[in-house]
Amino acid sequence: MKSHLRTININDHRVFYRQAGSPDAPTVLLLHGFPTSSHMFRNLLPVLAEHYNVIAPDLPGFGFTESPEGFIYSFDNLSNIIEQFTIELGLKNFAIYFFDYGAPVGLRLAMAQAERVTALISQNGNAYVEGLSAGWNPIQQYWEDPSSTNRDALRGFLTPETTQWQYTHGVANPESIAPESYTLDAALLARAGNTEIQLDLFGDYQSNVAKYPEFQAYFRQHQPPMLAVWGSNDPFFLPAGATAFMRDLPKAEIHFYETGHFALETHGQEIAADIHNFLATHIRRA
């Protein structure tokens, strides 16, 4: 099923998004992470669109979304834009699929709009300290000491070589990764001014870790249906971050795949099947 490419004005932002499926079907909101965009869902969108209204926006600072000068890039502000995005599109109820940065954005949205969120799907989207690997050490050092030296040390995360490595690390056959994926991400990261935006978000990621207890309290209180689909060789978010969901959501479904951070690139068919089975149980209309 064809995906439609659209933009909408949200508080002076031109938010780019992809939409597929019938607007009358139950909605699934797809939230990407670093360093990518809604492009990561290019193959998943038409598959889910068989039964759902699937919407994938580009977060401010990523993809083809355009943000006004002076916008402060924080996860609170990204979440506010996405919350307003769902309101402007008239999404009354929706499931959220979140990946990487999409997790703290989506979970803020879920806490603020608990009555509207029908289910959660985490694809390497973390909400527990035990899910953070040693790969976070340079960023955590910047949190502890936000000096220019520690900030500059993070610039290596933004190179084309590192972006490609994020796609291929932990993958059995790196040549199976479509090169347009990491090449597009690298090109968009390299836009004028974007480096400082990304460094600001690295610094603000500590606000997400500080909110982990709030995310977990939300899980315990509301018990949203949860599916975790996880690349087990992720260099940043460990499998322990997936199994930890069951501590607060005993009915959570957990699936691991022998791949890396961008699990959709290598195991898209398996993940789509698991998502279909999960959503059919929890939100698909008869």
pLDDT in tens, 39-95: 999 999 999 999 999 999 999 999 999 999 999 999 999 999 999 999 999 999 999
Region 4-132+208-282: CATH code: 3.40.50.1820
DSSP string covering 230-286: EETT-SSB-HHHHHTHHHH-TT-EEEEESS-S-HHHHHHHHHHHHHHHHHHHHT---
Beta strands 94-99 and 13-20 are unpaired
* Catalytically annotated residues: 261
pLDDT in tens, 236-276: 999 999 999 999 999 999 999 999 999 999 999 999 999 99
pLDDT over threshold 50, residue 286: no
Instruction: Report how far apart, in Å, the C-alpha atoms of 95 and of each of 53, 106, 278, 286 are.
Output: 10, 10, 11, 17
> What pLDDT score was predicted for residue 54?
98
pLDDT in tens, 159-168: 999 999 999 9
pLDDT over threshold 70, residue 284: no
The rounded percent of the chain whose pLDDT value lies above 90 is: 97
Geometric angle at alpha carbon 233, from 203 and 18, rounded to 5°: 65
Location of structure tokens 């791949």: 259
Q: Given CA atoms 171, 44, 79, 65 in this order, what sign does their dihedral have? A: positive
According to DSSP, residue 35 is labeled: T
Burial of 148 (0-12, 13-18, 19+ CB in 10 A): exposed
